[in-house]
Structures are given as C-alpha cells and as structure tokens.
Amino acid sequence: MALESTLIAHGLPWPINIETAKAAEAAITLAGALPATIAVLRGQPTIGLTDDELDWLTRQPDVMKAGRRDLAVAIAQQLTAGTTVAGTVALAQRAGIRVFATGGIGGAHREPWDISADMTELARTPVAVICAGAKSILDLPRTLELLETLSVPVLGYGTDTFPAFYLRTSNEPVTARVDTPEEVAAVLHAHWHLGGAGVIVAQPVAADVAVDPAEWEKALWQAEKLAAAKGIRGKAVTPFLLARVAEITEGKTLRANQALIVANARLAGLVANALR
C-alpha cells in the first residue's frame, strides 16, 4: 500500500520526518501489508523507496512538490519531487495499488476558488485514501460538499462526524460510519464494482494528542494574518500555515501530525489486508 512523500519532504522538519516515515512503514508491516512510499527521484517515478532513498529525500532542501499536473515536468526535467495526495494517488493507481495512507487530504480553502487538486483526483481514480479527514486550515463544509458533488464517499472510521486533522471532529456528518477494516473493504469492493473512483476513510486523531479547538482557531488566525502580510499564496500556503501553527502551539500540532500519520498507516495496512 502507498504512502506519500510530500509529507516528509515538505510537511515535517528533519529528523522528525524520517522518524515518522519509518514508523509509518513499520506500522504497515506489522499490520501485514507491504509499504510503498512514492516519490519521483531524479526524474524516475519510484514506487517503494529504499531506506537509503527515504533518508536521502528527507534531507534535501529544495525538493519539488508534485501533484498530478507536475509529474510530467518532474520526469521530463529529471527532477526530484515529493508527491502530494493527488500525485501519489495517480502513481499508486498506475502501479496497481488501491490503498493509500496520508495525514489529511487537501480540499476547499477559505479563499474563493482555491481548491486542492486532491478533489478532482479522488473523483477519477479508484484508490482508497486513509486519512485523519481534511487539513484543519480548510473550509470543511465546502470540502465535504465538493466531495459529495464529485461522488466521493466519505467513511468515518469509528465516528459519525468528519475528523479535522489536528481536531477530532469538525461536527460535519460523514457519508457512513464503518467500524472494522472488513467493513471498509466491503464498501470499497462494492463502490469499485459499481464503477466508482476514490473513497475517503477518515479516522480521528487520538484524543491524547488532539489539539483543543479554541487553541487551534487562535493559532490559525495568527498564522493566516502572517501569511497575508507576507503575501503567501497558492501551493505555498499550506506548508507555511502548518509550520507557523506548529510554532504557535509549541509543537502540539506537530505531535498530533506524527501520531495520526502512524495511526492511519496502521489502519491502511489492515484495510489492505482485508481487501485482499
């Protein structure tokens, strides 16, 4: 099953990124599945990084961030790129991988017309994305409305409401609740048999590391104000905001991020086994 590489190339600082990547791969292995971290290395799409490649990637200062639209450029120009959710889903599907674990998906930002390519990729590619919901910096009601329009089921794993990455809930309803990997696998099988594409399986972050909603809103407001003052826009917004809120919360969001990545990887391994 697949793991993305933008998370470790752009989302987490060294050495936390390599520690988290290895912990996620170990959790998948313990669950009885085969981990495959995906990236583009010097122009070569690579499905399953070796330990040396993983370590090398986490130390590179200027790695390209590649969604689906960027893959051809990275390949043709022989660049190294960390793949986003959209980029990873596209490459995973071409490699025959149907289950993918990440932290949180992209979606509709609070700014008008700023929509993540994750949305359209999920609408056309039959891969299950195990995550902790969508990133907390997003407009979550709009994100869920988009997913409904694009016919992407949103399954809540052990929850009736959509998780919000660092927060356990957004208080928004999911398409359906599932409580076991076997239930997830049954829905995936039926959805794909009917010609459906992507499916989101959203698992809440553990309660002992979840961020308090009031603290989160205050930190996000400060980070957004700083981003606006610096003129941060486009695909630079998400990594900038996540880095700033980590500083403002004194590492609480970073610890939550690490924990949910490993938990999602473990669940994805169990789902991959059940699906098989």
The gap between the terminal CA atoms of the chain, to the nearest Å, is 11
Of 58, 188, 64, 176, which is closest to residue 129 (Cα–Cα)?
188
- What burial class does residue 168 get, using C-beta atoms within 10 Å of its C-beta: 0-12 exposed, 13-18 middle, 19+ buried? buried
- Tokens read off for 174: 């999911």
Q: Is 135 a catalytic residue?
A: yes
For residue 102 the two structure tokens come to 């990440």
Residue of 121, 135, 224, 252 marked catalytic: 135
Kind and range of the H or E run holding 124: helix 117-124
**Contact (CB, 8 A) for 125 and 150:** no
In the chain, DSSP assigns E strands to 2-3, 36-41, 44-47, 64-66, 81-83, 99-101, 128-131, 154-157, 176-178, 199-202
Q: Among residues 4, 25, 121, 224, which one is catalytic?
A: 4
Sequence-separated (6 or more) residues with CB below 8 Å from residue 270: 31, 32, 33, 181
HEC assignment per residue over 141-187 = HHHHHHHHHCCCCEEEECCCECCECCECCCCCECCEEECCHHHHHHH
Among the listed residues 137, 127, 134, the one whose alpha carbon sits nearest the alpha carbon of residue 238: 137
Q: Mark whether 22 is an active-site residue.
A: no
Q: Are 149 and 191 in contact (CB under 8 A)?
A: no
- List, by residue number, the catalytic residues: 4, 135
